[in-house]
Amino acid sequence: MMNNKLDKSITATNKSIIDLYNKIKSASLILRPTFQRKLVWRKNHKYNFIKTILDNYPFPEIYIATGEIDIDSMSEIEVVVDGQQRLSTIRDYIDGVGDFEKQSTIPRFNLLDTNTKKDFLSYKVIVRELGNIDAEIINDVFQRINSTEYSLNTIEKMNASYHDNPFMEFCKKLLESCDVDENILLQDISCFFKEHLIFTDNDIRRMIDLQFIMLVVISLEIGYFNRTSEINKYLKKYNEDFPLENKIQEQLHEIIHFINSLYLSPKSYWFNKANIFTLIIELSKVDLSNINKKIFQERLYYLDEIYSKKDIVDSQFSSYMEVAKEAVNDKKSRVLRGEFIKNILLSCKL
């Protein structure tokens, strides 16, 4: 059996779009090796990806390996291991062909001013060059890059692939509307997460916040599920339209307004990601007007206090804390946390 371990780790380099484009046009960089998948991006995926570059935003790295040597041109042929859709979209945009031939959604490359063209062509793409490695290892690298089910890396990659997905776009609005001129419901929801510091800078940088809000939105609809298993289904199901948008934002707005009215401490245990997730989902299941807010507030205050003193005499709360750790995201743990909050809410009914 072949040992597919690489001799050394693969370092990243920066290559300009014009360098990559010229290699593609000269056929010294092959976009479609046999192990690659078919191109599946829709028009709007492509348009939004090009807009990402025009706005000088980053997109995920691509992987390239050395293929055969072309004796006639005395040059090495390279193959794209991962990133063929991004690079083919860039090529088609510059050439003005395919989905870019007759469109008015984004500025056409040939109509850009000189400086904008130069900025686009000099944009730096992060490239990992695998070098001259066996075809079996190239295929293995490709499969590993694309097989991790909704790891953080995949969430980051989805941001490039699903720019116009209505479900994802709605979730982004729930996070990014605090400082922009959006409707008041989106503003309030977005500002809630920002002002209560639900997410760290690293969370935001690695798109953990986007993954979190997607989990919240899906759980509001179908209840608790295991880890991130339903995200892919929702992206596929709502690839054309997300009709639940108004319903979800109204529901979330009512819940965050209720939580804000509890006046919890800025450093409250309940603003931990796992805890606020559970609070939101469980509050969505009850009639908030039928909850004695004062009693509920006192109960959360009490649990906050014993948590801060680390003097946990409540065995049920102790069990809750064990599964409130950020890494514990299986369905069983989410249900257990939910039952704990549910029982508190039942004891606070008017």
- Per residue in 129-177, pLDDT (tens digit) is 877 666 566 566 655 655 544 444 456 656 555 656 899 889 999 998 9
Q: What is the pLDDT of residue 148?
A: 47
Q: Are 9 and 124 in contact (CB under 8 A)?
A: no
At residue 40 the predicted structure's pLDDT band, cuts being 50, 70 and 90, is: low
Q: Are 259 and 279 in contact (CB under 8 A)?
A: yes
pLDDT at 305 over 90: no
As a whole-number percent, the residues of the chain with pLDDT over 70 amount to 80
Nearest to 220 by CA among 255, 269, 270: 255
The helix/strand/coil state of 79 is: strand
Q: Which residues contact 8 (CB under 8 A, 6 or more apart)?
A: none
pLDDT at 42 over 80: no
Q: What is the pLDDT of residue 312?
A: 63
Q: What is the pLDDT of residue 313?
A: 66
* pTM: predicted TM-score of the whole model, two decimal places: 0.59
At residue 116 the predicted structure's pLDDT band, cuts being 50, 70 and 90, is: very high
Q: Which H or E element spans position 244?
A: none
Strand partners, 141: none
The helix/strand/coil state of 238 is: coil
The helix/strand/coil state of 13 is: strand
The secondary structure of residue 72, as a DSSP letter, is T
Nearest to 280 by CA among 251, 304, 307: 251
Nearest to 184 by CA among 241, 249, 93: 249
Cα separation, 46 vs 92, in Å, equals: 10
Cα separation, 249 vs 245, in Å, equals: 6
- Per residue in 45-65, pLDDT (tens digit) is 899 999 999 999 888 888 888
Strand partners, 126: 14
Cα separation, 45 vs 188, in Å, equals: 29
Average model confidence (pLDDT) across the chain: 84
How many other C-beta atoms are found inside a 10 Å radius of the C-beta of residue 152? 13
The secondary structure of residue 41, as a DSSP letter, is -
At residue 327 the predicted structure's pLDDT band, cuts being 50, 70 and 90, is: low
Q: What is the pLDDT of residue 153?
A: 47
- Per residue in 193-250, pLDDT (tens digit) is 999 999 988 788 778 899 999 999 999 999 999 988 899 889 889 988 999 999 999 9
Q: What is the pLDDT of residue 199?
A: 92
